[in-house]
A and B are shown apart, each in its own frame.
Chain A
């Protein structure tokens, strides 16, 4: 059974940093692109970042480019999202998703971790 378990969310002040983690199990982690997708409270879904299966390439939308960094440790079956210079509009539940970028879809989702950016 595929499982994606996110941790690391919480309350953080604007301008500060936070790092999310996602531990994957039930599939061969290093065979798949991985992504982060977020959902602001009561709102829709927004893609945040994708990384190739090797970790050699990463992709971001303009809304987070230069502030967020996606990475992975294939030996530990773990995906990360480093979030810097956080803003109130980054407040959302962040989902770890199996799937990538062009032409791909998000086949599996974690349960999500809530990030609240507020002073």
Chain B
């Protein structure tokens, strides 16, 4: 299985820029996708195929990367962005990262 590694948690202040990383154990081409999950809610697609913004998602969110290293960037961060962010690859079966919990100070 392709293992996706994310840092467990980050804390930033409103208005700052934050980058959330996801590293794959093997290359996944550009087939990396990002989801936001707020407490008690279902996940929501933010970015598909590494850098494409999903419909209705604010342009403050962006994605980059290819191969094994990918980044989700939020700039500027808002209080409402408090959530857990998951990466997911679909190049080699389907696997998810363990999630990065983002706290807004």
- A: residues with CB less than 8 A from B are 35, 44-47, 50, 61, 95, 101-112
Contact = CB atoms under 8 A, between A and B. Distances in A.
10 contacts: A35-B94, A44-B99, A45-B35, A61-B94, A103-B91, A105-B45, A106-B33, A106-B45, A107-B54, A109-B44
Interface of B: 31, 33, 35, 42-45, 48-49, 54, 86, 88, 90-91, 93-99
Nearest to A48: B94
B33 A105 contact: yes
Contacts, number: 54
Given A109-B42, A110-B42, A101 B94 contact: yes
Nearest to A107: B45
Contacts of B93: 47, 61, 101-102
Most chain B beta-carbon neighbours within 10 Å: one of A105, A107, A112? A105
Given A45-B86, A101-B90, A102-B90, A112 B95 contact: no
Contacts of B97: 44
A108 B33 CA distance: 13
B99 A103 contact: no
A103 B52 CA distance: 14
A88 B75 CA distance: 41
B91 A105 contact: no
A97 to B, nearest CB: 9
